[in-house]
Amino acid sequence: MLFSSVQFLFFFLPAVLLCYYAVPAKAKNYVLLVFSLFFYFCGEPIYTVLMIFSSVSDYTHSLIIEKNRGKKSAKVALISSIVINLALLGFFKYADFFISNINLLLGLQIPLLNVPLPIGISFYTFQTMSYTIDVYRGEAHAEKNLASLATYVCLFPQLVAGPIVRYTTVADELSNRTHSIERTSKGIARFAVGLGKKILIANQMGALCAAFRASDDKSVLFYWLYAIAYTLQIYFDFSGYSDMAIGLGHMFGFTFSENFNYPYISKSVTEFWRRWHMTLGSFFRDYVYIPLGGNRCSMLKWLRNIFVVWMLTGFWHGAAWNFIVWGLMFGVLLIVEKLWLNKVLEKLPTFISHIYVMLIVIISFVIFNGANLAEAGKDIAGMFGGLDVPLVSTEALYTLRSNALLIIAAAIGSTPLVKKAYTKLSELAHGTVSAVAQPILVVCALLICTGYLVDGSFNPFLYFRF
């Protein structure tokens, strides 16, 4: 079940909100847990058991860790928890990748398992691992109530597409959270913004990308249109889902971490990764990079740490070589910036450093979105005139004319300009904009998005690969 679906918007969400607010505080987690399991069951009936198993496993391991804190058995329990989590993730997400590469290297014919990938397994596996690690470090107390921990793991707003919510972020709210009309209205507004990003921009950019793939009339212009469209699609899709998750969190009394902070205004790749998918970046920093030694070690070990983190970052996104290359590319760029390029970028005009970042980002997402390295390489070659295609084609011009205004609007929407303008208008009108115009805008956004959904418009789900 997708947030951007009629079933979710008009059946599931009203039902869960009605039941949630109808029961006393002590029963609210149980309502959320039941509805969250049902939400996941609608998309992954069999794998719901897998998620329940992960919850029970980490609940048990955390109790053992806390009971034996400072003893060897606590470390054994931590290792056991991590191994189980990584084994589940490795089997379901990476088994066929390793089998394929072993077959290729050794000339074997080991049959592929073709096991379907459980939706959201990369997100909830990282959440459960961070929980047991934090308990081991003494940064969190083991949750004594299994239902509360299971609610944290299975919570439907952030289950299938993040952000990666750490237990320490919501530990207090699991047992004691506040609800108010103001907070609920704030959540609805944030959800509407995310839904608009997804339906009105990301899906339309996705349709352009699909048209490019289906076209036999390629050109250099069309390759660039595709690259720019996908760069906009993945931002508005991913940040849109994060907005919807954060908005839903507000409705149920939770405060989730922000996941995006206008990454496309960055003036360096280093800054880009401080603004893009921030919860993933902080996870790898706190649970991989720093434990490996971070930058407080020799140059050789620091380089190793960077490459390990960025190889894992790429591999986390998908079981294919283009994801690994995508991650390592950013690792190399971050090293180059740290050692030399940042000093140059600081002296350059802002617009030049911004162009540098966006060129890197656009090329990186072409690599990211390729079915394989060969297709990604072909797409990049097409962008720079390396293929036997014309500079301009009839279909490319038609596509450009049809989507130019949307692309410009999306580009502007990926910057803080819209938010700043809204805030300024609200200040000038002494809050009238937020008090009167915001509800009207929210209702209009929901009606327009519903129209697109009822019409059966293009509505892909990017997170099947995660």
In this structure, is residue 242 part of a structural domain? yes
Residues 256 and 346 in one domain: yes
pLDDT at 184: 92
In this structure, is residue 194 part of a structural domain? yes
pLDDT at 241: 94
Residues 345 and 393 in one domain: yes
8 Å CB contact between 420 and 242: no
pLDDT tens string 134-156: 999 999 999 999 999 999 999 99
Number of domains in the chain: 2
Residues 369 and 402 in one domain: yes
In this structure, is residue 350 part of a structural domain? yes
In this structure, is residue 1 part of a structural domain? no
In this structure, is residue 411 part of a structural domain? yes
In this structure, is residue 52 part of a structural domain? yes
pLDDT at 464: 58
Residues 208 and 144 in one domain: no
For the question of residue 250 being annotated catalytic, the response is no
Residues 187 and 126 in one domain: no
Contacts of 2 (CB under 8 A, 6+ apart): 8, 459, 461
Given the residues 250, 317, 354, 430, the one annotated as active site = 317
Looking at 129, 159, 177, which one is the last position of a domain?
177
pLDDT at 2: 84
pLDDT tens string 321-345: 999 999 999 999 999 999 999 889 8
Residues 27 and 163 in one domain: yes
Looking at 154, 177, 200, which one is the last position of a domain?
177
In this structure, is residue 187 part of a structural domain? yes
Q: In the chain, which stretches have pLDDT less than 70?
A: 430-435, 456-457, 461, 463-466
Residues 288 and 374 in one domain: yes
Q: Indicate yes or no: pTM above 0.85.
A: yes
Structure tokens at 96: 């066929």
Residues 128 and 219 in one domain: no
Residues 139 and 213 in one domain: no
Residues 173 and 190 in one domain: no
Domain extent for 308:
183-465
